[in-house]
Structure 1
Amino acid sequence: MPRNPLPLTTLVILILIGSMWVSPETARGQMLFNRGDCNTDGVSNIADVVHGLGILFSGAGPANCADACDVNDDGGNDISDPIYMLGNLFSGGPNPPLPDDCGSDPTADSLDCLVGPASCPPPVEDCDNGVDDDGDLDVDCADSDCQGDPACAPPLSFSLDMYPIIVDQCTFCHGPPSNFANLDLSLEAGNDPYARLINTPSIECSSYDLVEPADAQNSWLYRKISGTHIDAATAAGCAVVDAGTQMPLGPFCCLDQATIDLFQEWIDGGANP
């Protein structure tokens, strides 16, 4: 980052017991910054020293980017920071620690950077961490940057995602006229297939509901299509002979793993209608 020291005509430093400010708690993410650029104008010079002193002693604070004003990277903002900056600008002192070219703070501390210089690009929005990472006031999936991100995909639903599979694979047996296992999953005569599944005990092993929302492992539907129903019946003390075979039956068996995983995701996600 360019350093542009201005001519120094008068400099008076009052050596005080350093006071410290800490940036307020915020749900916004950490902006990229350049250490020493306390006024976040993109250049490190005497103006940053003046700005830092104003925040400390003249009520000009808090800093938009407290991390940038922490020139010596000791985790605080106090008189040692403008002194460090003056030494760098005019006495051949060391450069401030990194970052010096639009970076994040490598040191864990309580300081933050809410507004970085305009020359630094905003961070990329993380779509599922509850933080406004890029500082545009939109969090996670409300941010347009998250459009199409898997974390922001709408939850699976029975009507849109699962029932078309059931119609294709299951209603031949679980529908009129057979209604195998007394389970009608058709839409005929006002039947509600979703209601027939949710929190309904299985007649093959009543310890399990056909679908237990948010718990695929305890849902008999998932156990039957995944072929783990025998183990489930044994664990619950149900008669193995009553547990039947993996579903769908016969030539329809078995669902591919991606479809089985889809049912598991739907159930574990709350079995939305």
Structure 2
Amino acid sequence: MKAPVTRVVAHPLTGAAMHPIDGNLGTPFDTATYSLMKHGDLPSIRDLGNELANALLKDCPWLSTTGSPIVLPVAYLVAKPACFYLASAVCDVLNEARGERAPARVIHVHKDSVTHIDYAASSAQDRRNDLASIGFRLTDPVRDAIAIVIDDVRVTGLAEQVMVDLLQDNGIGQIVTAYVATCDEQLAADPSVESALNHAVVRSIHDMLPSVQRGDFVPTIRFLKRLLADPDAAGFLAACPAELVQRFRADAEATGERFLAGYPAGTAALFAESDLRSSATREGVGQ
């Protein structure tokens, strides 16, 4: 028998792609915070993570009292998605509510590759083909546990189904899918909706420099792809702390040669800046 699935949504969206409305409040959805969250702004991640955790505790109050283990699975290869950081923020709130009970924890679902597709700009069929080309593997046992599958937005539900199938095939006891936002049928039919949400205020990698310079930035796989694809990657990297430049390079290299081959200009800019910072560090130590 397959594990039951419950869905929790912090912000059900309706309206138009450029002006989505929060169906709970009847007011415009905060697309600015959402856009910043998708690209690694930590305050935005924490704000939306807290909202999602509160929605979970409201709709599923038993999460604070259950004795069953709770896991929050997140799929990635090396560079983490924004959902990893959202899940971590949700976990913090849940564990505060759970007190002395066994803590909920984020677990890694291993992806065997990262492709160059931009899901926000892809058709449903392209998404299906891409997901079918990637292998997913649990790295922790989940039998009889409760899984909370965190995601930022539900448009087609394809990624959700891949994770649900994987968990059910591995004996999960119960599944809760939890979304920052979902699109109603009319909004989901607009192919521009996900891209409009993602790029509401982050239209260029340079829009994230204030977060970087405040120390409020975490590198996500979405941002890494955008960085490597940007013709002015070198200008952005020159404004970044050395530690972040080296993190970008480590994540890019670990993702693999096939991934890097899709971004020759951006990879060259990243490696050049990384080598420059390494050389400057060695010279500073030698003086």
Q: TM-score, normalised by structure 2?
A: 0.20
Larger Rg: 1
Q: Which has the higher strand share?
A: 2
